[in-house]
């Protein structure tokens, strides 16, 4: 294929590959006919060998051109399908956001999932109950909702709530890692004790004071 | 005197994430609050840090005296909640410089290993 390696072939490039393939096939068919005529007319061995070699060469070229054409057609169709899928996704997001983007007041009226907000409020430490939900709601309203649409924005908010809870209470992630059971219960009991009344832990679940000891 | 220098050293040493958060606070000055710090880290390093982890780190930095905070205005896009602004202190700038110098000294003259693990 003549197009660059990074870019999928355009429709014009596919058409050019098809023309090349057709020309190669025509040449091969002509040489095949010449070879058969030579056989029928009892031509001498040297002539037959020469025609046979030419025909084989033309067949190889036609085969290579055929492969190139098929690859170009496939890549082009794949690129077109990807474009169509991307357009459909953009259209869906745009369709979801049409009402929101037209009316800023309406956009501001969209709130994060209330259950997620309540869960976050309950599981956050008192000193973070004002700022963390505020930061998440601002990011939800300012960055995520206009860019990705309501459905994605709600999923994003839930995901952030879960991550925030895990970051603030490492016993949650330990429970998940332990998979429940007796060991899990022990981990919870230990985690609850440390998480609520003990030290603060960082995201990796390590005691932040440990690195400075 | 010895104890004092030990305490100073302990305060000056920064973990990797602490270093990143402190640098973000410095870059965003004077508009550094939780969401902006998170976005700055995401835009610059590609690390999608949880907001809870950012606040835990900021609390730790504040306890070390490397950042200070004050409560800002309430805005409608935050559901009427206030912002908590963070400001890097002189000790914070010093700690950041010390941390950068240490890293630079450790890397000085070292051939960086290839990502695959070869040297």
Which pLDDT tens digit goes with each residue over A102-112? 566 666 678 89
Q: Cβ distance B14 to B102 under 8 Å?
A: no
Neighbours of B78 (CB within 10 A): 24
Q: The whole model's pTM is what? A: 0.56
- Mean pLDDT for B88-98 is 94
- Mean pLDDT for A67-72 is 84
Confidence of residue A206 (pLDDT cuts 50, 70, 90): very low
* Residue B110, Ramachandran bin (φ over 0: left; ψ between -120 and 50: alpha; else beta): beta
Instruction: List A residues 146-165 in contact with B (Cβ-Cβ < 8 A).
Output: 160, 163-165
More confident position, B6 or A57:
A57
Give yes or no for residue A199 having a pLDDT over 50. Answer: no
Q: For the segment B43-54, what is each residue's pLDDT rounded down to a tens digit?
A: 999 999 999 999
CB–CB contact A108 B77 (8 Å): yes
pLDDT at A100: 59
pLDDT at A71: 84
pLDDT at B27: 95
A207 touches chain B (CB under 8 A): no
Long-range contacts of A6-15 (CB under 8 A, 24+ apart): A8/A75, A8/A76, A8/A78, A8/A79, A9/A72, A9/A75, A9/A76, A9/A79, A10/A76, A11/A76, A13/A72, A13/A76, A14/A69, A14/A72, A14/A73, A14/A76
Element (H, E) at B81: strand B81-88
- Mean pLDDT for A157-168 is 89
Q: For the segment A74-112, what is each residue's pLDDT rounded down to a tens digit?
A: 887 777 777 766 766 666 665 556 555 556 666 667 889
B64 touches chain A (CB under 8 A): no
Percent of chain A past pLDDT 70, that is, above it, reads 65
A173 touches chain B (CB under 8 A): no
pLDDT at A195: 53
CB–CB contact B35 A108 (8 Å): no
- Mean pLDDT for B7-35 is 85
CB–CB contact B39 A130 (8 Å): no
Percent of chain B past pLDDT 90, that is, above it, reads 66
CB–CB contact B53 A211 (8 Å): no
Mutate to test the interface with A, among B18, B35, B52 (most CBs of A within 10 A): B52
Size of chain A, expressed as the number of residues it contains: 213
């Amino acid at each position: 294929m003549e197009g660059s390696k990074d870019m999928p072939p355009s429709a014009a490039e596919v058409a050019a590959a098809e023309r090349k393939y057709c020309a190669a096939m025509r040449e091969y068919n002509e040489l095949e006919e010449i070879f058969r005529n030579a056989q029928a007319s009892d031509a001498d061995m040297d002539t037959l060998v020469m025609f046979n070699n030419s025909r084989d060469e033309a067949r190889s070229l036609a085969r290579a051109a055929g492969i190139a054409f098929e690859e170009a057609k496939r890549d082009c169709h794949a690129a077109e399908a990807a474009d169509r899928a991307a357009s459909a996704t953009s259209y869906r997001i745009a369709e979801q956001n049409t009402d929101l983007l037209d009316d800023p007041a309406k956009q501001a009226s969209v709130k994060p999932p209330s259950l997620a907000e309540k869960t976050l409020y309950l599981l956050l430490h008192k000193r973070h109950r004002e700022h963390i939900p505020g930061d998440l709601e601002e990011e939800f309203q300012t960055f995520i909702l206009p860019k990705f649409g309501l459905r994605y924005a709600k999923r994003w908010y839930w995901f952030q709530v879960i991550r925030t809870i895990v970051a603030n209470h490492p016993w949650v992630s330990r429970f998940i890692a332990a998979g429940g059971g007796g060991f899990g219960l022990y981990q919870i009991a230990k985690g609850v004790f440390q998480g609520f009344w003990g030290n603060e832990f960082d995201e990796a679940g390590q005691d932040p004071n440990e690195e400075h000891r | 005197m010895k104890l004092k220098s030990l305490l100073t050293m302990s305060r000056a040493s920064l973990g990797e994430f602490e270093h990143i958060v402190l640098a973000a606070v410095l870059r965003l000055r004077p508009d550094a609050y939780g969401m902006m710090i998170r976005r700055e880290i995401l835009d610059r390093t590609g690390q999608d840090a949880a907001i809870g982890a950012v606040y835990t780190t900021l609390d730790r930095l504040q306890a070390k005296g490397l950042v200070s905070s004050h409560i800002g205005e309430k805005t409608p896009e935050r559901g009427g909640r206030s912002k908590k602004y963070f400001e890097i202190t002189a000790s914070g700038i010093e700690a950041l410089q010390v941390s950068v110098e240490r890293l630079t000294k450790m890397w000085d003259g070292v051939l960086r290993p290839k990502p695959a693990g070869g040297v």
